[in-house]
Structure 1
Amino acid sequence: MGFVLLHRFTLLPFAAFVDCLRLAADEGDRSRQLRCHWTFMTSTGEHATSSCGAAITPCVPLQDPQEFDYIVVIGGIQDEHNRVDSQALAYLRRAAAEKVSLVGVCTGVFALIQAGLMEGRRCCVSWYHHRDLTRRFPAITPVADRLFIDDGDLLTCAGGASTADLAAYLIERHMGKAWAMKSLHIMLIDEARSGSYAQPQPVVFVKVEDRLVRRAIALLEQHLGESMSVDVLSERVGTSRRHLERRFRDTLGVSPQKFSRELRLRYGLWLLHYTEKSVTEIGGRCGFADTAHFSRNFRTAFGLSPSDIRKHAGLPDSMPVDPHFLHVHDEAMR
């Protein structure tokens, strides 16, 4: 495998991928490149600096694509003034023309798009970068509800820890399941997740001081597909219904029941923006008995129907879905 490390590349996706290869390449933890081989490349051949400042060295200039079974491009931080590595893009186009399989990891998929290689292809991207990608490349339809996509000669991966899953998938394909499991177990990962495994999706990121309320919120997040009663919720966290309701109102200003409903509706709003699931499927996934019930509650919460949101999803004037915070206070819950 050849790794193309772009400017300010993200370190975790790179490290998870290459460490999975390293552990499968040799017996024990000896790290010899016996069963797997890898090369770190940059356009200049100089060391590569990651987004956190750590540098990878030695790197070599871009090598003949035919030397590799896969070329893995690890993307970097995206911003309005992000420089384009024209030499790397030309290299990716050459590799594609020579039928070498390409892997776009994290924002590496942006480089594949800029190289003109994603037209008419499925494109896996992290939920975190979904909105930026659709804004910059409106002709591309990204997928943000799975970990990675194997589209034959072109693989794309959401990044983060999911690159270990993708690496294990490729190791199993070429070397067998035992070697893939060896790597994962040493990395303290129970088993590889499939590409269709859902990305963990943002629902609530808010600082809650009350430990009991935090526990209850964690349970609600784990059961977004069902309408958990307050009686069941209070029993699960080891308190009475009355006490839990009081603690929710003191901390968040709303009842547990209303918080749960708004949480599931916010999750539905996210799914409408970032997936291609139908309104009916989303309603069921958010724990509503039927589509009419989901749509009625959704319109009350957001002022628009799910169908209206879906029609405008991805447009510049569409209702924003903040990927960092779901504000939970009286006004947000009204």
Structure 2
Amino acid sequence: MARPLSPAPPFRPRLRVGFVLARRFTLSAFANFVDVLRLAADEGDRSRPIHCSWKVLSASMDPVRSSCGIAVGPDEPLGDPARFDYIVVIGGLIDEIARLDPDYTAFLRRAAEARIPLVGVCTGAFVLHRAGLMQGYRCCVSWFHHDDFLEQFDGLMPVSDRIFVVDRDRLTCSGGASSAHLAAFLVERHIGRAAAQKSLRIMIIAEDMAGDDPQPGLPLDLKTRDPLVRKALLHIQQNMDAPPNVAAVADRLGVSRRKLERHFHEALGLSPNAAFLRVRLAQVRLLLDRSDRSVTQIAAATGFCDASHLIRAFRQAEGMTPAAWRGRAARSGGAQLMPPSWP
């Protein structure tokens, strides 16, 4: 008599991800990350969790409201973090981070003790650091939140000139579209490059980006720890198409123009006007290298009166016209993307 066949072992996806959503989390960062997993998990876009699985975890099983007001319902209680390959924390509004339920902090610490890699997306890095889980690790944050991070946390210098950072079992990214690239990095690691590229193509993301690719933010040669100077530069960055003058920036920051000028000279050796122009020209170079916008369109996007004004300023700074800059980049093959580097 033949022995009865033993039941087949349960199928185990190659990539299992648990999500922790902070209060008022950023919906786009979560959606980009989870959609890469969804599209890599099955053939086409049938969305079956075959190669990947993902669950939204909760301490209370109550829906979590995002910063845009849309609520997401959880799938499972927190439970044992070891059932996942990664725990991904999706952050959001800065003011809500301190209000994270202590049960989540305890869960993240259990995951760290079990050596489950932790991922901080957007201000999820703030959540991990507040839980005491980022000491000794490099940490990526958005250039937009760089100063917020410095104001809230001591002893850790955030990286805000890359789209994501992989440091051993801590992975952090700047949020937005970069969360899709970090998710694709994990898909490539566990499932394969073809699956990662398929996800990005279906999402109409032209090319995969490595962690070393720069965030479109402040130019790297204007680094300073002076908080007043950084806030002024950030204000210009956020108002690129209609840049305020020095007096308006000083008024916005609650200081005199003379004090602002003194801080710029001490921190950068530049006047505020010269520094503001460098911020705008850095954005011009980025748009020339990475877009097909006309010079007129770029001038409008970076606060120049017209194309002629931009061409004069660009020639004075770079020794060539914007068209010549773009032609040189095209002849050299354009900006090269670095392949993913594994930890």
TM-score, reference length from structure 2: 0.63
Work out which of the residue numbers 149, 156, 167 in structure 2 matches 1:133.
149
Offset at 1:237? Answer: 5.0
User: Aligned match of 1:154 in 155, 170, 178?
Assistant: 170
The 3 A distance-change label for structure 1 pair 220 and 109 is closer
* Deviation, structure 1 residue 224: 6.5
Within 5 Å, give how 1:309-328 maps onto structure 2.
none
Alignment coverage as a number of residue pairs = 240
Distance (Å, rounded) in 1 between the aligned partners of 2:69 and 2:143: 24
* Matched-pair identity in %: 49
Question: Which aligned pairs between 1:23-62 and structure 2 lie closer than 5 A?
Answer: 23-62=39-78
Matched AA of 1:75:
G
Letter in 2 for 1:146: R
Distance in 1 between residues matched to 2:97 and 2:215, nearest whole Å: 28
- Are the structure 2 counterparts of residues 236 and 140 from structure 1 closer, same or farther at C-alpha, using a change threshold of 3 Å? closer
Write the deviation string for residues 256-290 of structure 1: whole angstroms up to 9, x where unpaired: 4775599x8xxxxxxxxxxxxxxxxxxxxxx59xx
Structure 1 stretches of 5 or more lacking a match?
A: 209-216, 227-234, 239-243, 265-286, 289-334
Q: Distance in 2 between matches of 1:77 and 1:225?
A: 29
Out of 69, 73, 89, the position equivalent to 1:73 is 89
Q: Answer yes or no: is 1:165 the counterpart of 2:173.
A: no
Query: Which runs of 5 or more structure 2 residues have no equivalent in the other structure?
Result: 1-16, 219-236, 244-278, 289-293, 320-343
Distance 1:135 1:34, change over 3 A: same
- Alpha-carbon shift at residue 171 of structure 1 (Å): 0.4
- Report the Cα distance in structure 2 between the residues aligned to 1:99 and 1:13, rounded to whole angstroms: 24
Residue number among 97, 106, 117 corresponding to 1:90 in the alignment? 106
Q: Distance in 1 between matches of 2:104 and 2:45?
A: 32
Quick one: structure 1 residues 2 and 236, their matched pair in 2 at CA, closer, same or farther if it must change by over 3 Å?
Answer: closer
> Counterparts in 2 of 1:2-13, with a 5 A limit?
2-13=18-29
Task: Specify the alignment match of 1:110 in structure 2.
Answer: 126
Would the aligned equivalents of 1:103 and 1:156 in 2 still touch at CA under 8 Å? yes
C-alpha displacement of 1:59 = 3.2
Change (3 A) 1:225 1:164: closer
**Does the CA-based 8 Å contact 1:46-1:61 persist in structure 2?**
no
The structural deviation recorded for 1:80 is 7.9
Q: Helix, strand or coil: the match of 2:147?
A: helix
Decide whether the 8 Å contact of 1:65 with 1:95 is kept in 2.
Answer: yes
Q: Relative to structure 1, is the Cα distance of residues 80 and 183 closer, same or farther in structure 2, using a 3 angstrom cutoff?
A: closer
- Which residue, out of 204, 222, 229, partners 2:284? 222
Q: What do the CA deviations read for 1:91-137 (whole angstroms, capped 9, x no partner)?
A: 11110001101101100001110110111110100001100000110
Evaluate the alpha carbon distance shift between residue 224 and residue 163 of structure 1 in structure 2; reply closer, same or farther with a 3 A threshold.
closer
Map 1:164-243 onto structure 2 (within 5 A): 164-201=180-217, 203=237, 205-207=240-242, 221-223=283-285
CA RMSD of aligned residues (A): 3.3
